[in-house]
Structure 1
Amino acid sequence: MSCLVYPTYFPNIAHFVAMVRSDSVYFEVCDNYQKQSYRNRTEIYGANGKLALTVPVSYTQKNRQLYKDVKIANEDNWQIQHLKSLQSAYSMSPFFEFYIDDLMPLFEKRFDYILDFNLKCFETLLDSLQIEIITQRTIIFEKSPDNKTDYRSLAKRNHKVESFKSYVQVFSEKHGFISNLSILDLLFNEGPNSELYLKKQKL
């Protein structure tokens, strides 16, 4: 069965569990943009616990915009800030040095649109994870899609996901295991074991 998801910023583990357990993946790109979602936000494990990294976007609720038309507000030095946060959070993780060079171009190149940036992040992640996922983009918006498992609700920040199996995280001795963070948390801590971990989880 195919699954339908939103392209999000360094998707959380739930997104990847849904994708690796599906035959193919459809990215929803025909919807109106919504604030307060993971479209422009990811969560990592910092020294003080869960830390949100948000890509600033130019968007107003008054004039509805399609997701693909929403621009990144590049006036802020958000890429430098996000990179510093990742370095601070994961420089002591087992696989940080192994993967960070692959991710660096995402923080060095300017991107104009949040959708394009998220798709590039996803493409980079697949290379790092060495996972083969067949993806397509939607052509029209369907409220109730046929022949696809609809996981679009995973992009909502208040969507509840059952806790996944724990793995060792950099600051777990201080704050315990935090489930369903950005896929980067799993990648930096578990490295090549990430794919096996994802396939063992259930939504």
Structure 2
Amino acid sequence: MNAVFHPTYFPNIAHFVAMLQTKHVVFEIHDNFLKQTYRTRTHIYAANGKLLLNIPVIHSQKNRQQYKDVKVSKDYKWQDLHWKSLLSAYRTSPFFEYYEDELYPVFNTKTEFILDFNLKCFEVICDCLQLEVNTRETKHYQSSYENNLDFRYLVNAKKEYFKPFDTYTQVFDDKHGFINNLSVLDLLFNEGPNTLNYLESQKLNPI
């Protein structure tokens, strides 16, 4: 069964759990761009708790833009800021140094379009996990699908759709407890090679 997803900024755990339960991943690239979604944001676990990393983009004030046409703003050094945030949050985690060299180029290479950047993030995570995912991109927009699972709703950053996943050890959980469904980066830095086993063992139990 194919499943349709929006490419997001270092997808959260729910995205990857859903992807691993399908045979083919279809990336939606012809939808209209909406603000305040996981297209431009992800959450990590920092010293003070849940931390939002947000990518600034250039919005059109006149017409709607398709996701594939939205450009990243060049007015902010957000890549430097995000990398420093990851260093601060995870440099004491068990596996940050193990994946650091693979991830650093993502934050040190300029990109023009947010979609291209998010697809690169997905590719790098798959490389870290040594995971092969059959992917393709949509050729046009469809509001609904009859023969494919539609997980595009997971792009909504304001709502949780599934019951909490199993806990794992997080760097600051002694201060703030377990934080559910963060960016897959949190799982990767804390669980390392066990990340894939964890993702495959999780269930999508609707709230």
**Class of the TM-score when normalised by the shorter of the 2 chains:** over 0.9
Q: Distance in 2 between matches of 1:186 and 1:148?
A: 28
Q: What is the match of residue 135 of structure 1?
A: 135
Structure 1 unmatched ranges of 5 or more: none
How many matched pairs? Answer: 203
Q: What is the match of residue 101 of structure 1?
A: 101
CA contact (8 A) 1:153 1:159 kept: no
What TM-score results when the alignment is normalised by the length of structure 1?
0.98
Q: Distance in 1 between matches of 2:196 and 2:62?
A: 41
Letter in 2 for 1:18: A
Structure 2 unmatched ranges of 5 or more: none
Q: How does 1:146-157 map to 2 (within 5 A)?
A: 146-157=146-157
Q: Distance in 2 between matches of 1:46 and 1:167?
A: 16
Q: Distance in 2 between matches of 1:148 and 1:195?
A: 24
Residue by residue over 1:89-124, the C-alpha shift from the partner in whole angstroms, topping out at 9 and shown as x without a partner, is 000000000001101111111000000000011111
Q: Distance in 2 between matches of 1:154 and 1:25?
A: 14
What TM-score results when the alignment is normalised by the length of structure 2?
0.96
Letter in 1 for 2:191: E
Q: What is the match of residue 198 of structure 2?
A: 197
Q: RMSD between aligned alpha carbons?
A: 0.8
Q: How does 1:1-203 map to 2 (within 5 A)?
A: 1-60=1-60, 62-160=62-160, 161-203=162-204
| CA shift for structure 1 position 61 | 5.5
Structure 1 segments of 4+ aligned residues over 2 angstroms from their partners: none
Q: Distance in 2 between matches of 1:156 and 1:162?
A: 16
